Every structure is written in structure tokens, then in C-alpha cells.
Amino acid sequence: MRNLFYSLFPVLLVIAVIEPIIAHGIGSVLVNKEAHPPTDTTKRLKVLFYLQDGVEVLDFAGPMEVFAAAGFDVATVSKTKNPIVSQGILKIIADYSIDDAPQADILAFFGGHDGNATNDPAVIQWIKSKTSPEYYFSVCTGAFILGKAGLLDHLTITTWHGRIEALKQAVPQAKVLSNVRFVDNGKVITTAGVSAGIDGALHLVAKILGEDAAVQVAEYMEYDNWVPGRGLVISPKPSGH
């Protein structure tokens, strides 16, 4: 009996962690927002995470934790409100569909079966119609989604190391870099794969709220890998050049 318990323990642990996410919504479980209320001077920025079926868990979960802990208003959107599955494990029902999603200050995209978004004309048209975001943010192969929407032309960008060459072909008018955690073009931030999304999100928090705020979030998450300024920040060209 004891051997049976130990053999089932990992499965029971996964169920204990995932079940509340399915039952109560992903944003409410990953970070206790009440434990990290925004200060009176913090603008409550709206962040929309577009999630496609097959999306990579850490691609979006890491940045979600960062933005929520920083006091941003984070929500999810998918093509429809039908359940999607992340990595064949986590069932997700998005807060919004592309038909009723609100305007956002930050619009974010993630890797994992990115073709489900890039090859869907309705999704790409929806992205093109969103002209209000102050920032576009991608993690891993989520860059392909931004690229298909025409948002990466003439920029310096990055993605997961295994798709660098493919991104060069997909967005020939962009300069695609490898061996960089993130690239900030001002309005568009792309990151390398999986855990690099945490670095890019912390950078964006530092950019908006200041480095001290980002340091506090990193300390709360016990994320020791972040080094301020580690990514590449592209200085905007003077007008007329």
C-alpha cells in the first residue's frame, strides 16, 4: 500500500495544483493579486494574453506572474471561449474571445503551436485591428504571430533558439538575433524561449514602473536569473533618419 501511495504521489500533486486553476481561472491562482495591490500612483495597465491551443505553459505563466505581481490588470483572450489545452496538460478557458476582448495597453503572444494563430486569418485580422496597445510583447515563437500581423518589419527581434532561422524566413525584413534574452524596440519587445519571457516581462515592468518595482517582483518570485539591462534595448532613430 505504501509503495502504491508513493507511486501515485506525483500525479496527486499535479492534480492538486492544476485543479484550482481549471476551477477558478488561471489568473487568480498563479498570483494572489490582493497580496500585491498596486500603489495609488500605479496606473492599472490592462494586459491581454492571447493564448492559442497548445500554448507553452511557462511561456505565458512566467510573464503572467510578473505582470500580476506588479499590479497590472491581466486577462486572457483566445479565438473563442472554448477550452484550450496547454502542452496537453492544462485546460484553460479564456476570459475573452477575439469578438469581445477589450482594448489593452499591452498585448502579449506566446509560443507553442503558434501556427494555430499565424495560420488563422481571423486571429491575424484581429491583431491588426488592435491599434491602441502601448506595447506588443512576445515570448518564444509568439514572435511568429506578431510577424504574420506585420508588426516586426524593419525591427531587431529574437525568438526561441530552435526557430531563429525559421523566423528569418518568416520575417525577411527584420533583423533576427540569437543569444539574447530579449530585444526591446520601444513599442515591441520580443524574447527568447520559455523562461526568457520572465526576463522580458521584468524589463517591461522596469520600463513602466521603474527598476525598483521590477526588483521587488523578482525578489517576490525568488527569480535570481534576472539581471537588469541584460537584454538588448534598441535606441529609437531620430526623426528624419
Please give the grid coordinates belonging to residue 188. 515591441
Task: Assign 21 a pLDDT band (cuts: 50, 70, 90).
Answer: very low
Q: How high is the pLDDT of residue 19? A: 44
Place of cell 526591446: 184
Looking at the chain, the number of H-run helices and the number of E-run strands are 9, 12
Q: What percent of the chain has pLDDT over 70?
A: 80
Domain that holds residue 152: 27-233
- 17 pLDDT higher than 50: no
Average pLDDT for residues 152-169, to the nearest whole number?
98
Average pLDDT for residues 156-183, to the nearest whole number?
97
Average pLDDT for residues 169-195, to the nearest whole number?
97
Tell whether 171 is covered by a domain: yes
Tell whether 3 is covered by a domain: no
Q: Are 199 and 225 in contact (CB under 8 A)?
A: yes
Phi and psi at 120, nearest 5°, equal: -110, 105
Task: Assign 136 a pLDDT band (cuts: 50, 70, 90).
Answer: very high
CATH number, domain with residue 117: 3.40.50.880
Q: How high is the pLDDT of residue 235? A: 75
Q: How high is the pLDDT of residue 229? A: 81
Average pLDDT for residues 67-72, to the nearest whole number?
97
Cα 164 from Cα 175, distance rounded (Å): 10
Tell whether 21 is covered by a domain: no
Tell whether 1 is covered by a domain: no
Q: Kind and range of the H or E element at 143?
A: helix 142-148
Of 177, 203, 230, which Cα lies nearest the Cα of 70? 203
Top pLDDT among 7 and 77 is at 77
Tell whether 178 is covered by a domain: yes
Average pLDDT for residues 206-216, to the nearest whole number?
96
In terms of Cβ atoms closer than 10 Å to its own Cβ (0-12, 13-18, 19+), residue 156 is: middle
Cα 29 from Cα 147, distance rounded (Å): 31
Q: How high is the pLDDT of residue 3? A: 52
3-class DSSP state of 224: coil
Q: How high is the pLDDT of residue 44? A: 84
Q: Which amino acid, one-letter code, is at 140?
A: C
Q: Over the chain, what is the mean pLDDT? A: 86
Cα 16 from Cα 81, distance rounded (Å): 24
Tell whether 118 is covered by a domain: yes
- 15 pLDDT higher than 80: no
Tell whether 185 is covered by a domain: yes
Average pLDDT for residues 94-114, to the nearest whole number?
97
Structural domains of the chain, count: 1
Tell whether 15 is covered by a domain: no
